[in-house]
Amino acid sequence: MLRVALGDKTYRIERPWGELPQDGLVSDVAVLPDGDVLVLQRRDALIAAQAQIAAILRLHPDGRYKGASQGDAIFDGHKMSVDAAGRVYVVDRDAHQIVQYNARLEVEARYGRLHGPGQPFNSPCDAWFCPTTSRILVADGYAASLVHVVAGTEVITPLCGEPGSGPGQFITPHAIRTLDDGRIVVADRDNSRLQIFTPAGQWLRDITDVHKPMALAVLDNEIYVTDQVPRLSRFSADGRLLGRARAVLNGAHGMCICANGDILLSEIAPRRLTRLVLEPA
């Protein structure tokens, strides 16, 4: 049995975790309000064999396979998040769109022009619904260096960002989350830092004690981040390191935190999930 600690929290490692019956690359993981786990599979829809792979797998809370999305609207799933109402936001990276599902994995809305690079998204990385502002934030990261705001169904405007390494500049904004007061956390992957912004997009500070950060989660106003060392780190909202662990073998591209405090991590290669089971204090 293996264990890791993030400061005063200790976890038991379960790896591999969950039934993954198909062959797509495991790009991200998220949890619905009812406890079901969603697994985003990356695929190349231009390759016939991969086109048959479901974009989203659904698992019971104990990891048993439950089903998959049908008639997939996703060409190149990269990141995924779930809001408190059970809406699912999937970043369709090279189709340049964000697809919103309900908890039954039925498409509700699309943001950005499908197959329209730069209209406005240009191979985006991540999307997150901010509960304090009721806006969707999009880290537009592979061919752009922007954070966009989606208000309503059609109004999409840049909030911050430009290419570079200075304050408020990005090289691959790869993941995005918000703190309890609406401050925005962006994993600026290829600048090896997290950047913190006000809800209005004004730069506040950097957290630089990370190496090519990949995935973000926020719990109790603390920031959890994976990087390519590979490590999982826990920071306070003001950037103090609270704990650090080596929880996966090759780096977690995706992460989410369950209601009971367990952490799920997704790896692309090898293709698998890891569950960190929070142990009693």
Q: Please give the Cα distance from 164 to 162 (Å, whole number).
A: 6
* Angle 64-65-68 from CA coordinates, rounded to 5°: 155
Q: What is the mean pLDDT of the chain?
A: 95
Q: What is the pLDDT of residues 236-248, one digit of tens each?
A: 999 999 999 999 9
Q: What is the pLDDT of residues 83-104, one digit of tens each?
A: 999 999 999 999 999 999 999 9
Q: What is the pLDDT of residues 127-182, one digit of tens each?
A: 999 999 999 999 999 999 999 999 877 779 999 999 999 999 999 999 999 999 99
- What domain count does the chain have? 1
CATH of residue 26's domain is 2.120.10.30
Domain that holds residue 11: 3-278
Q: Please give the Cα distance from 88 to 129 (Å, whole number).
A: 9
Q: What is the pLDDT of residues 106-116, one digit of tens each?
A: 999 999 999 99
Q: Is it the case that residue 48 has pLDDT exceeding 70?
A: no
* 22 three-class SS: coil
* 176 three-class SS: strand
